[in-house]
Chains A and B, each alone.
Chain A
Amino acid sequence: MVRFLLNGLEEVCAAPPPDQTVLQWLRVQRRLTGSKEGCAEGDCGACTVVLAEPEGDGLRWRPANACILMMGQLHGRLLVTVEGLADGESLHPVQAAMVAHHASQCGFCTPGFVMSLFAAFRSGESARTSEIHDCVAGNLCRCTGYRPIVDAAADALSGSRDDRFSPLATDIATRLREIAAGPALSVETDAGRFLAPRSRSHLAAALAADPGARLIAGGTDLGLDVTKRRQPQRSLVSVNAVAELKTMEERDGALVIGAAVPYADALPRLAAIDPSIGVLLRRLGSRQIRALGTIGGNIANASPIGDTPPLLLALGASVTIGSAAGERAVSLDAFFTGYRRTVLRPGEFIDRISIPLPRPGDLVQVDKISRRFDQDISAVCGALFLRREGDRIALARVAFGGMAATPARATGVEAALTGAPVSRQTFENAAQALARDFKPIDDFRASAAYRLRAAENLFERWFLAATGALEAAE
């Protein structure tokens, strides 16, 4: 059975189908209709709910898209919906600010905005405008033009953080820990099953027992198979309760990230490598997506337009694959075998990703080009790693997404850079090699011509970055 707290009260779902979404359950089963379906793909935020789990003495609060969240993912968490915020007749400070600033018009997106702001409110986020934009980047409003919403957010995030959950947090954390101390989640129904093993070995065993099972981490991509492609999921095995897959550590000059670490947790560690990585990750999906989605999942999906693979390729990352048979390590270069295909075999899972940390003096630069700054999929995503010896380039790794059927290294470009001096000519040569490395396609995100030209132009930016002249040029 799935055990969780709904707006503070214990909820037990005996046997939800493995692919039942939280939004469907809320709206149809539970008749809590405040959370809306706007897109059923995690892109509009109208269904935003907040999940909390124990952290330290209190709770960690994060927004999530209920439309692509499976019921099994609620186990051991607090689920807060828009119906749960007000204290009797007294509006939550976020709700009161939204009213005061005339921040709703048609009102359909409003519950989602309220929940995103509630997550920020509980998380102690600042009222800085840029953070408010980060906070609501996963929420679309078609009526207001956002100004009053941003004002409401600034207002709500400037005052006291007391709300009806303040006195409850400790108790909620205790109750969630009790659920976590109980048996591992295992739901078997006529419609299929949802397992959440607690250890690497149990995970391997579960997959060995049912090689047809699908792994679910954040479910932010898998959810689309359910809602968009209408593919029933009969057997899901979650990696989220596997503590060994949720660790991050530095080992032998590398940052080792467990495959089940959500983007939100990995972000500060990765951003510390280079600020451009922080910018990239804050543009990956939205807070709702980053709360659940994982780098392991981003790699395993092998989408040609995933945002992290180009970066990880440029950094020379490798992947450790686990299974009942043991472990094997694969360089990320060799991991992708074709459009949405990888070397993963039935029964295998990504255990961790190892990212060699750059040395002082190395240059890392990653650039994402998309139509909209926030929550858009790249037309092109390019990443550069350079190691210099004197004024020469000793080692270059360059990778792109959106330019081929998989995220891929630009080998001709790398050859043009390696051993060459750090000069404009070198970078121009490298840019010219791009057209030999890639034959991008025309589609609705961009034409082949644009992809190639914009990617070529990144070398201008990268040259300036390599010579420390980027800021001045802009």
Chain B
Amino acid sequence: MSDRRSVVGKPLHHDSARQHVTGAAVYLDDMPEAAGCLHAALVKSPHAHARIVRIDASRALAEPGVVAFATAADVPGENEVGPIFHGEPALAVEVADYVGCPVGAVIATSHEAARRAADLVDIEWEPLPAILTIADAVAAESYVCAPQRLVFGDAASALARSPHRLSGGLDIGGQDHFYLETNIAMATPLDGGQWHVWSSTQHPTEVQKHVALVLGVPQAAVTAEVRRMGGGFGGKESQPTIIAAIAAICAHKTRRPVKLRLDRDDDMIVTGKRHDFRADWEVGFDDTGALIALKVRLATRAGNVADLSSAVMTRAICHVTNCYFVPNVEAVGLCCKTNTVSNTAFRGFGGPQGMLVGEAIIDQVARRLGRDRDEVRRANFYSPSRGLTTPYEQSVQDMIGAELTDKLEASADLAARRAEIASFNAGSRLRKRGLATAPVMFGISFNMPSLNQGGALVHVYTDGSIQANHGGTEMGQGLYTKVAQVVAETFGVAASVVTPTSTRTDKVPNTSATAASSGSDINGAAARNAALQIRARMADVAAQEWGVDAESVSFEDGTVTSGNHAMAFSELARLCWVRRVSLSATGFYATPGIHWNNATMKGNPFYYFAYGAAASEVEIDLLTGETRCLRTDIVHDCGYSLNPAIDLGQIEGGFVQGLGWLTMEELWWDGAGRLRTHAPSTYKIPGSRDTPPDFRVHILEDAPNRAETVFRSKAVGEPPLMLAMSVWLAIRDAIEAAGGDAEIDAPATPERILMAVETGRGAAPAPA
């Protein structure tokens, strides 16, 4: 791979930036609708668990504009949308098992008519007992999949001989994705039993597969397509399949195109979120805080079905020790089956929850020993002397967590600021400040090896323009831009010569979800593979034309040269056509060297690790518990960044999303299992003023990935989210400065903070 880089590594604008700012970027709901297109609206269960006794849609069907009502009985094929396990219906059959569970869909000539009529479908219910919480599910041993267990060393006996022991628990809240564009799909019956489905999805292949399954047609008869999503964050990995499948069922029933767009409330009530977790742990450590043994049980609320929960739990377990070597670990993971919405992928995919448990442990060990957290971290980092083997027995070859922490200590001037904060706190009665760092070490690759493959289809046209198609989807993360840069670099042309097109299952088949931060790693490499094939053919043609060696032909600045010979790239493209040489190629990439044993939870699941470190300073109001993040410093590792402007956006955006998860975003269910925070009026994500007013983000320079990724870049989608752990830890620090009980759960809402402060003051909080 050449070291010359003229397009990759440049901070090019997002390929759609101009369309974004002018309103010309077309999202699914903006597309012209085919003549006769109908609109569907969901009819949902109001009960957490209930038997459907009778459905009467007559009032709805009598409404003007209403065309039909579809239920599970209208599924021509198999009523199945489970991404890993079987038994996950698109529409409820006999029993609805969470509040919001889709029972049917009203189909009408307009979105509004369908929504109004959906309220008029009368269902007689027989309520059944419901399990709503992790605690109830654990007590009932109600799980969606078998418990997971990872054993490394001998935690029990190591605990017994540890000089210090500490146990604790942590509740970690979930998080709604709150992508600005809600879930939407449009299914169109085509000629010859074929189907086309537009879907706002991170996983077109999954949409294709399940639409084919519910319709009872071969996968080859279905094309799923997506040009762009208005945000995904994991929420459009498996969930759009449900929406697309229902749209397809409705289109099949009416033989007309059907669009199903969820409004915000339905989107938040019907589709899954980040998993909430309960962790219980016991840890053994020495006088320096070096961990000797860890026993941890992670329990999560999977919801009514498994969806991706088993994989989320695996990643949580793999990240519970973050960047620390722990010689003896026993981790158990329980995916609780509850009568709540099935939780799903969300940026980090269990990693953040696992890692937060690990950081809570470091925090509490440091507090117990009266030592600085970073000192305790240094006693624990993976290192050749301490150990480089993860609990799942992967050897860590690229550890830079310690280096980043040191860098941050200096660049963020932490020592001096700790002193300043101590003096501020001594002088302030109503406010206290806290400062904390957080290192992040995140494994890159899907835990399941088979998913780590990418495909691409590249065409060069006779005018020298290039079309780049690949299996990855664009959700705002700039993947299309990065892949275009990779392809442009390969052909030695400007990025503007490369046109990214929508992601379609008929161009690149059998794709993986654009998830696990892997988008540019696998699709960028596949596109490069395709481009290299075409470039080699083009070089041969040029070599023949000039009578030179193909090796001597180079592609640069839109020109192809060899010695004194030169021609424009477009001229060579045309010459290839004249010489009857193919200018199209499929590319493929399979991540090398990874393996995983699900039964033993051992293997080499990650191609490499992405690292980062953050330091955040917060201030809490001791009267109200309100909190502000005052300053955050970040050093993050992107390898050789393919596009530093896009990577910076991922780092900043990921951090702020994590800050929301850990401070203000709270999913609140009532005793009947109803989510009561299902719109932005009640569910608060960070606004512009919530970002640190002093926000210093640095991409680690001159840090090529040691793994042979595309242009030695690193994945960046998920890891920065976890940098926000620094905010949560800083809040704990501030609560401690206020004399409160610092060991609060997540999210650290004003209420939790105030109650923690008041507890320490000796003023018992009023009974809840």
| A→B interface (CB under 8 Å) | 24, 27-28, 31-41, 43-44, 46, 81-83, 85-86, 91, 95, 98-99, 102, 104-111, 114, 129, 132-133, 136-137, 139-150, 228, 230, 369, 371-377, 379, 435, 442-450, 452-454, 457-458, 460-461, 464, 473-474
**Residues B688 and A142 in contact, CB atoms below 8 Å apart:** no
**Residues A461 and B119 in contact, CB atoms below 8 Å apart:** no
Q: Which residues of B contact A464 (CB under 8 A)?
A: 430
**Residues B231 and A450 in contact, CB atoms below 8 Å apart:** no
Give Cα A228 to B751, complex, Å.
Answer: 28
**Residues A99 and B21 in contact, CB atoms below 8 Å apart:** yes
Q: Measured between C-beta atoms, what is the minimum distance from B428 to chain A in Å?
A: 7
Tell me which of A369, A371, A447 contacts B684 (CB under 8 A): A371
Quick one: closest A residue to B20, CB to CB? A107
**Residues A369 and B626 in contact, CB atoms below 8 Å apart:** yes
**Residues A43 and B681 in contact, CB atoms below 8 Å apart:** yes
Please report whether the interface of chain B is mostly helix, strand, loop or mixed according to DSSP.
loop
Q: Which residues of B contact A106 (CB under 8 A)?
A: 179-181, 228-232, 475-476
**Residues A82 and B181 in contact, CB atoms below 8 Å apart:** no
Quick one: closest A residue to B689, CB to CB? A133
Tell me the count of chain B residues lying within 8 A, CB to CB, of chain A: 90
**Residues A450 and B754 in contact, CB atoms below 8 Å apart:** yes
Q: Which residues of A contact B119 (CB under 8 A)?
A: 230
Q: Which residues of B contact A228 (CB under 8 A)?
A: 265, 679
| CB neighbors of A among B27-76 (8 A) | 27, 29-30, 32
Q: Which residues of B contact A443 (CB under 8 A)?
A: 668, 676
The 4 closest A-B pairs by CB, nearest first: A34-B23, A106-B476, A108-B230, A107-B20
Give Cα A373 to B628, complex, Å.
Answer: 9
Question: Is the CB of B695 closer than 8 A to any CB of chain A?
Answer: yes
Give Cα A419 to B478, complex, Å.
Answer: 66
Question: Is the CB of B14 closer than 8 A to any CB of chain A?
Answer: yes
**Residues A132 and B768 in contact, CB atoms below 8 Å apart:** no
User: Provided the pairs A106-B230, A228-B265, A449-B768 are in contact, do residues A39 and B680 lie with their beta carbons within 8 angstroms?
Assistant: yes
User: Provided the pairs A91-B21, A143-B476, A146-B691 are in contact, do residues A452 and B766 lie with their beta carbons within 8 angstroms?
Assistant: yes
Q: Measured between C-beta atoms, what is the minimum distance from A303 to chain B in Å?
A: 12
Give Cα A47 to B229, complex, Å.
Answer: 17
Quick one: closest A residue to B677, CB to CB? A444
**Residues B180 and A102 in contact, CB atoms below 8 Å apart:** no
- Interface code B707-745, partner A: CB below 8 Å = 1, 0 otherwise? 000000000000000000000000000000000000000
Q: Measured between C-beta atoms, what is the minimum distance from B692 to chain A in Å?
A: 9
What are 17 of the A-B contact pairs (CB < 8 Å)? A24-B112, A33-B26, A102-B11, A102-B17, A106-B180, A106-B181, A114-B23, A142-B685, A147-B695, A148-B652, A372-B664, A373-B626, A377-B682, A445-B682, A447-B768, A449-B767, A450-B755
Tell me which of A28, A140, A454 contacts B180 (CB under 8 A): A140
Question: Is the CB of B625 closer than 8 A to any CB of chain A?
Answer: yes
Question: Is the CB of B645 closer than 8 A to any CB of chain A?
Answer: yes
Question: Is the CB of B749 closer than 8 A to any CB of chain A?
Answer: yes
Quick one: closest A residue to B676, CB to CB? A444
Question: Is the CB of B147 closer than 8 A to any CB of chain A?
Answer: no
**Residues A460 and B623 in contact, CB atoms below 8 Å apart:** yes
Quick one: closest A residue to B675, CB to CB? A444
Tell me which of A105, A144, A230, A369 contacts B116 (CB under 8 A): A230
Give Cα A139 to B180, complex, Å.
Answer: 11
Q: Measured between C-beta atoms, what is the minimum distance from A64 to chain B in Å?
A: 16
Tell me which of A91, A110, A372 contacts B686 (CB under 8 A): A372
Q: Measured between C-beta atoms, what is the minimum distance from A306 to chain B in Å?
A: 14
Q: Which residues of A contact B29 (CB under 8 A)?
A: 27, 33, 37
**Residues A369 and B624 in contact, CB atoms below 8 Å apart:** yes
Partner-contacting stretch, out of B560-568, B609-617, B653-661: B653-661
Give Cα A374 to B115, complex, Å.
Answer: 31
Q: Which residues of B contact A449 (CB under 8 A)?
A: 755, 765-768
Q: Which residues of A contact B656 (CB under 8 A)?
A: 144-146
Quick one: closest B residue to A105, CB to CB? B476
